[in-house]
Structure 1
Amino acid sequence: MAASNVISGLQGFNSAIATLKDDMQKKVAFSAALIGANVIKREAKAIALAKGLEQTGALLNNIAVKREANPPPGVAQFNLGVRHGRELGSKAKVVYSVRADGSIKKTYVDDPFYWWYLEFGTKPHAEAGGRGRKLAFEADGKPVFAMKVTNPGIQPMPFIGPAFEHKSDDALAAMANRVAQFIQKGAA
């Protein structure tokens, strides 16, 4: 029997899970949620690649699905986003350097911290050097030093939001198929 015949719509999905034993409901719910989240994750990577957001590969390699540690009761929740900073884990390449004041600076190599700016964009804003220092950057291949500059901002180039919009139906279908598989195993 095809899964689409067994489960249709969100209400059918919830009632199908309710037919399982209590100990299996949580396992099935998390398994189904993970499969649905991975459908959207693959689409997010494809959209990011199509928009040319692959420079070092750090952004694409760190689009991830993470299980929510403390979801509300009765909810199987996964979060889709981009790992960055401390979340990169033990496999992250870290470089330590000493600042002028003697303190140690920890920098993650290939850290896609900027993903939020790409997804949502930024407004034009002023930037100034701290404590009377000048800003230093390169423009047209020449070094520029200024006390204050106006940053024009970044236009949004979303990849996670559109992935959800494009693949939410496919994700729900994958989730329904997963639940139907468990139900069929239990009936056999």
Structure 2
Amino acid sequence: MKLIDTAIEGCFILEPRLFNDDRGYFFESFNEAQFRNLTQTDIHFVQDNQSFSKFGVLRGLHAQNGDHAQAKLVRVLQGEVLDVAVDARKGSATFGEHVSVLLSAGNQKQFFVPKGFLHGFVVLSETAEFFYKCDNYYNKGAEVGIRYDDPTLNIDWSLSKDQISVSEKDLILPQFNDIFQR
């Protein structure tokens, strides 16, 4: 597995070593010892989640607060998404900045999103199956989120607004500056 740094400290792209032949491919999608060694993090994942979405579905931007904060290791099993992590760590040099990564079944890349980040993705293919590991259990009372189209963040989701489908719950989320202050 190869680790690729991003513009924001703590966020990593992981590229697996694929073994291809005329029958298909094989790769090790997760190895805890190798992950810890590459990322220099002491992460223990406790929950796996999976979603299926159609073209244009945007899920995000979400996080868990306080003792329920989650680090995530995300990947796409089928299809293609644009995955986004927003730094919401107070005092961080990159507070309010974001990283976007194209994840697909074809490139098999994974994206590590540490605690203290908002996270979301939009489906760019006809459909996509999205899979992620979390290092903490989900807690409804610790949910926090901001609008995907927050003008302060200025995220380019690669689709026009009329192509994007967002849940009613996500449409009423507050703006970044309404919740997160430096």
Q: Is the structural similarity TM-score above 0.5?
A: no
TM-score range relative to shorter protein: under 0.3
| Structure (1 or 2) with the greater strand fraction | 2
Of the two, which has the highest radius of gyration?
1
| Structure (1 or 2) with the greater helix fraction | 1
TM-score normalised over the length of structure 2: 0.19
TM-score normalised over the length of structure 1: 0.19
